[in-house]
Structures are given as structure tokens and as C-alpha cells.
Structure 1
Amino acid sequence: MTTTVERHPLFTHAFVEDPYPVYARLRDEEPVSRARSPHGFDMWTLSRYEDIKESLTDPRLSRDLRNAPAGVIEYTGGTDLLTNKNLLSVDPPDHTRMRKTVQATFTNRRVKEFEGWISELVDRLLDGMEGRSEVDLVHAFGVALPLTVLCRVMGIPNSDRLNFRRWMDGLVQSGAGGTSTDSLRESQRNLAEYCKSLITMKRADPGDDLMTVLVKALDEDDVLSEEEVVGITFHLLIAGHETTIGLLTSGLMLLLTHPEQRRLLENDPSLWPLAVDEAMRFESPLGVTLAVALEDVTYSGRTVPAGEVVAGLLQAGNRDPRRYRDADVFDVTRSDNPHLGFGAGIHRCVGALLSLAEARIALPAVFNRFPHMALTVEPEQLRWMPTPLFRQLQQLPVRLGE
């Protein structure tokens, strides 16, 4: 059976609600499949683990927008937009220089230093839920925690959170073609102007935060340009924030719908790190990675021509039975778990350690505080964000007590 560009299932409503049957069919029948995005450009999707993993480290693929076809340029706004000069849109050596400046904030040692105040923040959020019979965990916890953590790490005033959350929603929803180009450009412009205002603020009032590090790299070390500081800030606000929301809320949902796995964690809390990784594999928040072939490349026997877009379907790879035993089973004891949830290679999520730390602190804290928590709707009634770019719940309504 051949999947044509016109009727590719990747952008349908049924796919959003349950993408995994589509992924299974693509892996078995068309592991390299040509698809037309709702934004008007074609891409070649990879659905098998080994192909996706290879593509993430393949030097024949480029992330640099200057190499992208016209349709991608038209959708993203091109290289002149400040928000597009970010870590996901450049190749080495520029990527190496830019990432080195950011990486020091997200080392294992530095993230360990954050854990104390992250735990305090989790407790405050849970205190705010006490006494309420029902809450939506997406908004009361899943969004609030990573947004507040990111503000503190980057040195952003908490009072600005609602504004850039609104702008980020516009960008994320554009992934399904659900917003107009004008709306997308407005969100990009607003975020760019906001990032520029942060640079001005940190010049006047530096602190122990990532924005101050970036401004120093701009003003004193001459390592970054102002455009790159704006792009990096934009990238961290989007990628770090949305990925962690997805991990937290999907992790909560999975344990609410798999009580036997929850009991394993109650009996053996040492399993929590494995459980977080398994949540990242089983419901990966990041759905698609995009790159451009610099030359003809072949995956699973099919050749993608030079100049065309390669789309790695991370969620499909993370459920590939060719790599994982019982791939469609959520198993918190799974130790052989080299998932692709944070990507791989030089473009692996720079904030992965921070995201994992938040989940490893937050998830057990929620269930320890509210041991009788349960969904107030049937699992099949839960709704997901209408885009293949992110796998993120729109709501997670729960009853906190018996």
C-alpha cells in the first residue's frame, strides 16, 4: 500500500488523538514516507528507530535554514527573523559556539544545585491544591512548574510569564496549520521584542542567571551577536518549556491510567528515574525533528533526494518493536531504554538534565501528597494538542481525594 503526499495520515484528527496505529503501519509498510505538511512543503518521514537515530547524527543532513527549500522558508519566515537564529536552525561551527555558551548552565553539577529550590517550588504548588476537590493538572501543575523554573534559571520576571505563555501557544499551535501566518508572525515578533527587552534589562541589572551569561557573551566576550542571543533565548523558552510540560503531564496521566505501575513505584521508590525515562519514551513530548538533505540519503532502502526535508518521527521510533521488547507496554522497570525523546547528537535537548530533574522531583511528590488522586473522565476522553510537533495533553482533570 502506497501512502501518497495528498492523503498522508500524519495530519488528521484521528492521528492527533491516537498516533500509534499510524506509526505502526508506517513502520511496517512505508518506513520512509513522503508527506505534505499543512504548511505547503513536502517532507520524508522516518518511522523506524534505527533510521531516526541515524538521521539525528547524520552529517549529510542540515538544520541551517539557509539550506531549506522555499516552502520551509515561507513557513518559518526565513533566516532574517531574529527568532530563527537559534540552536535548532544552525549547523557547526556556529552551533558549537552558541551551544557552548549555554551548556554551562545545564551541567549535571549545576542542575544538582537547582534541585533544592525546585523541591520547594513543587511543595508550594501542591500546597495551593490542598483543599480543592478537583483540579486540572495541566494548568495547575504541568504548566506552572516548568514555566516558573525556566523563569528563575533564565532570570525572567515571574510577572512576564502569562504574556510569553500566550505567544508560545500561538507558535506551538501553528504546527498543525491551525493558526494563520499573520498570527504566527505576530507571536514571533512579540517574542523577539520581548527577548530584546530582556537583554536591556540584564545589562542594567545583571544576576546569577542564564540571560546574564548570554549578555556577557555578547557585550564582553564577543562570542555571540545580539541576534543570536535573541534566538537562543527564544529557543530555550519554547523547547525547554514545552518538552517539560509534556513530560510532566504525560507522566502523571500514565501513572493514573496504569495503577499496577504506580504500585511498583510505591513499593520501590528507587524505580522513579526509570519511570521518568519510560514516560519520556512511551509518550514522547517532542514529535518531529526536521532537517534538510545536503545530498541524496538512503534510509531503509529508500532514497531522499538532496534539498528535501527529512522528518524523524521520534514517537514512532520510541515505540518500534525492532528496538524495544513489548514496545507498546508502559513498564516503569524498563532499564534498556535509549529513547529518542530528547533527540540525539549535537542537537540533543540542551536542557534535558533540567527537565529530567523536574520530573524526578515532581512526579513522586504529587502522588505522595495525593495518594488517592484519580481521573474524573475516562482516558479516551482526554484531548491532545492538535499538532504532530508536540504530544501534549490539553487538560488533565483529576479528583484529588477519595
Structure 2
Amino acid sequence: MSQQVAYSPFDPEVMADPYPVYRDLRDHAPAYWSPEASSWVFSRYEDVSAALADPARYSSASGIFPTPPGVDMTELFLPMLIMSDPPRHTQLRHLVSKAFTPRRIAGLEAHIQTLVDDLLDQTPEAGPWDFVSGFAGPLPAIVIADMLGVPREDRDRFRTWSTTLIQSNPTRGEFGAGLDAAAALYDYFAAFLAERRAHPQDDLMTALVQAEVDGEHLPEEELLGFCLLLLVAGHETTTNLLSNSAVIIAQHPESQRQLVDNPNLVPAAVEELLRFDSPVQGLARTLTRQTTLHEQTMEAGDTVLLLFGSANRDDHAFPDADHFDIHRAPERQVAFGRGIHFCLGASLARLEARIALMALLTRHRDWDVDLDSSIRLRSGPIRGFASLSFQ
């Protein structure tokens, strides 16, 4: 292992630009021990993909985010789908997947188009504005709030809670703020679930309350875990996909021109945008048995951080991977994961991104961003912006 390689998912410099460090990891330390994250780190596409496809060896039940020594994710949050293994994972995913069928997602297209147009109608025609608060944040928050059945007027509170949760960096003693945000979300949804039990509606919250597994309704803690996951994952990924995309396209004017001239390139471009700067940079797993990889022996119980962002920049999987190419069509990118935990909302995120980018390319044919006036998220696993100056 090269003595020059050093990686911590909580390092601000890494958050600002992780890709040079990822290349060092892939080249010199593909199975790297990070003391700051108290976990092994996999950076190559082949290794990340293999781990995602092997949930029996790489368990999700002990947490999916890297944490410093002494921090136990399972003690901090209520049970949720993304932090479970079969057979319970299989049962729960079957329930919630009914809300994300291709037919249901396709049926949202006109609704999303209207939301996109309405939000852009409210943005300035000239001069800088905050792309996150004015567009990328509200759009997916409204969509998931409508699906859940919660009032739209609460979306700003949801956005604040969600952003606080994902930005609570445990190495800076900020985890308390994230836990307070999670508690606020749990309290909100507990009251809302009680209301839906008394007054059922045609929405996802009612469906979850009424759902049964083996003849029994879901326990309250699993219902609350579902709500937290659907809210946070349901809009954070899309918000950051849109924000990252706005930056990448602005930095590649020739690609921007081609997309303006040929909107049919947008769906493939969305896949390349996901690959090039993945909104979720990585998630963790826990080994269930001793494993040796790249001459490193890892013990049962060790945490392994799977770097999606690095895997998507691996030249062995994507030639010239550090080059942004809207004609690439990278079907194998792992921005949404793979296997049994493949992101349930992937098709919804893709639909929202496609509609949003087409509208932006129509209304703002040659937009620019001011990164000096923008603020990046301070989150290890999530890559995006807290604010983005757009003009």
C-alpha cells in the first residue's frame, strides 16, 4: 500500500473534490482502512459491484453510513428498509415497491412537468438566483410530499430537517443536530400516521398504515423508518443530481449546446451525469464473515464503505472515466446502487431529472454557475450543494 494514500469521507478537502483521492485509492489501495471512518474502503468498480451483489456477506443491517469509532447507527435511527437484510427486507421492499411501479411513475410525468414549469416561472429571467432553494430543492420535495400525502406547505420544514440530518458530520460533533432533526421528523410522522388511521386517504401514508405482512400490520417503528427513508431519500438524491448536473453542464459548453440542439440526448446524458458526479458517493456494509481482498484480511463485523463515486470513475469499467461524455450511455453505472438494495426511487429521480433538464435547456440555453458564491453540502456520503448561484 502506498504511504501517500490517505482518505477520510469527512475531510472537507475530499468533499470539495474527491476524485483525485479516489484514483489514488483505486491505483494503490483498493482495500483501504480508514481510521477516521473506522471502516475498510472499496474503490474499484469490480469490488464495489461484487459487494453490492452479495448481501449475505456484506450486510446492511448494522448501518449504511460510515461513522467514527463508538458510533452505532442502529442505536440512533429506527429500523428502515435500507438498513435491513432478507427475509425482512424482501417483505418490506415488496410493500413499498407498489408505489414505484413503472406505470405509477409514468403517470406522474404530466404532474412533474407542471411543477417544473411553475417553479421556473417564479425564477428571475436575468441575474443570479439560488438554484437549490428556487428549483432543485422544492421540485422533488413537492413530488414526494404529494406521494406521501403530507401538505405541501410543510415541505420547507422537511427540507430543513433533511438537510440538517445529512450534513451532521460526526467528526465535528454535529451528530446531535442530525438526531434532533430525525426526532422532529419522527414526531411529525407519528402524528400524521395517527391521522391517517382515523381518516384514510388515497396516498402512500395510508397504504403503509393499512399494509400487512403475514397478517400483521407494520410496527410503528418500521412505519416511522419508512417515512424518514422515503422523505430523505425521495428528494435528497434528486435535489443533488439536479444541482450537480447544473454545474457539470455549465462547465461543458459544447455538451450544453448539443443538448439544446438535440433534447433526445437528455435521457442518456442523465445517466452520464449520474456516473460523472454521483449524488450518493458511497454507502457502508458490514461483513458477516472473514474476507480477504487485495491481500487485506477483513474480519466479520468490520465495516466496509463502498465508494459508488469512485467505482463510476474507474477506467476499467468506463474508459477515459474522468471525461464527461453525453454520448457514453453508461448502463452499468452504480449511482443508485445494485442488487437487492437498488434505489427504489431511481426511475422517479430519472424522470424528474429528464423533465427538469429539458425545461432548463429550453429556458436557459447557456446558463452559468458561480461556484465562489455557492455552498457545498458538508456530508460524507452525499455530494451536492446547500446553495448554488445560477444565472
In the alignment, structure 2 segments of 5+ residues that lack a partner are: none
In the alignment, structure 1 segments of 5+ residues that lack a partner are: none
Q: Does 1:17 align with 2:16?
A: yes
Instruction: Choose which of 360, 370, 384 in structure 2 pairs with 1:392.
Output: 384
Instruction: Choose which of 264, 269, 276 in structure 2 pairs with 1:275.
Output: 269
Q: Does 1:351 align with 2:342?
A: no
Q: Identify which range, 177-186 or 17-26, moves more after superposition.
A: 177-186
Instruction: Choose which of 281, 290, 311 in structure 1 pairs with 2:305.
Output: 311
Instruction: Give, in angstroms, the shift of residue 327 of structure 1.
Output: 0.2
Instruction: Give, in angstroms, the shift of residue 266 of structure 1.
Output: 2.1
1:250-399 alignment runs, 5 A limit: 250-375=244-369, 377=370, 379=371, 382-399=374-391
Conserved 8 A contact 1:51-1:300 = no
> Equivalent pairs: percent with the same residue?
35
Distance between the aligned counterparts of 1:361 and 1:66, measured in 2?
Answer: 33
Conserved 8 A contact 1:176-1:386 = no
Name the CA shift for 1:72/1:208 in 2 (closer, same or farther; >3 Å): farther
How many equivalent residue pairs?
A: 390
Conserved 8 A contact 2:116-2:356 = yes
1:117-196 alignment runs, 5 A limit: 117-131=111-125, 133-175=127-169, 177-196=171-190
Name the CA shift for 1:4/1:209 in 2 (closer, same or farther; >3 Å): farther
TM-score normalised to the size of structure 1? Answer: 0.90
What's the Cα RMSD here? 2.5
Instruction: Give, in angstroms, the shift of residue 75 of structure 1.
Output: 4.1
Q: Given residue 47 of structure 1, which amino acid in structure 2 is its aligned partner?
A: S
The aligned residue for residue 61 of structure 1 is 58
1:238-249 alignment runs, 5 A limit: 238-249=232-243
Distance between the aligned counterparts of 2:327 and 2:386, measured in 1?
Answer: 28
1:34-49 alignment runs, 5 A limit: 34-37=33-36, 42-49=38-45
Distance between the aligned counterparts of 2:191 and 2:79, measured in 1?
Answer: 17
Conserved 8 A contact 1:97-1:223 = no
Instruction: Give, in angstroms, the shift of residue 18 of structure 1.
Output: 0.9
Distance between the aligned counterparts of 1:179 and 1:201, measured in 2?
Answer: 36
Conserved 8 A contact 1:281-1:339 = yes
Instruction: Give, in angstroms, the shift of residue 299 of structure 1.
Output: 3.0
Distance between the aligned counterparts of 1:381 and 1:70, measured in 2?
Answer: 30
Name the CA shift for 1:310/1:235 in 2 (closer, same or farther; >3 Å): same
Name the CA shift for 1:13/1:66 in 2 (closer, same or farther; >3 Å): closer
Q: Does 1:51 align with 2:47?
A: yes
Distance between the aligned counterparts of 2:213 and 2:146, measured in 1?
Answer: 22
Instruction: Give, in angstroms, the shift of residue 203 of structure 1.
Output: 1.7
Conserved 8 A contact 1:142-1:249 = yes
The aligned residue for residue 25 of structure 2 is 26
Conserved 8 A contact 1:191-1:234 = yes
Distance between the aligned counterparts of 1:372 and 1:71, measured in 2?
Answer: 43
Q: Given residue 50 of structure 1, which amino acid in structure 2 is its aligned partner?
A: E
Instruction: Give, in angstroms, the shift of residue 175 of structure 1.
Output: 4.0
Q: Given residue 277 of structure 1, which amino acid in structure 2 is its aligned partner?
A: E
Q: Given residue 53 of structure 1, which amino acid in structure 2 is its aligned partner?
A: S
Q: Given residue 36 of structure 1, which amino acid in structure 2 is its aligned partner?
A: P
Instruction: Give, in angstroms, the shift of residue 170 of structure 1.
Output: 2.0
Q: Given residue 13 of structure 2, which amino acid in structure 1 is its aligned partner?
A: A
Name the CA shift for 1:47/1:111 in 2 (closer, same or farther; >3 Å): same
Distance between the aligned counterparts of 1:218 and 1:368, measured in 2?
Answer: 46
Tell me the alpha carbon deviations over residues 285-320 of structure 1, each in whole angstroms, 9 at most, x when there is no partner.
001211110001233343221110011011000000
Distance between the aligned counterparts of 1:55 and 1:10, measured in 2?
Answer: 19
Distance between the aligned counterparts of 1:316 and 1:67, measured in 2?
Answer: 17
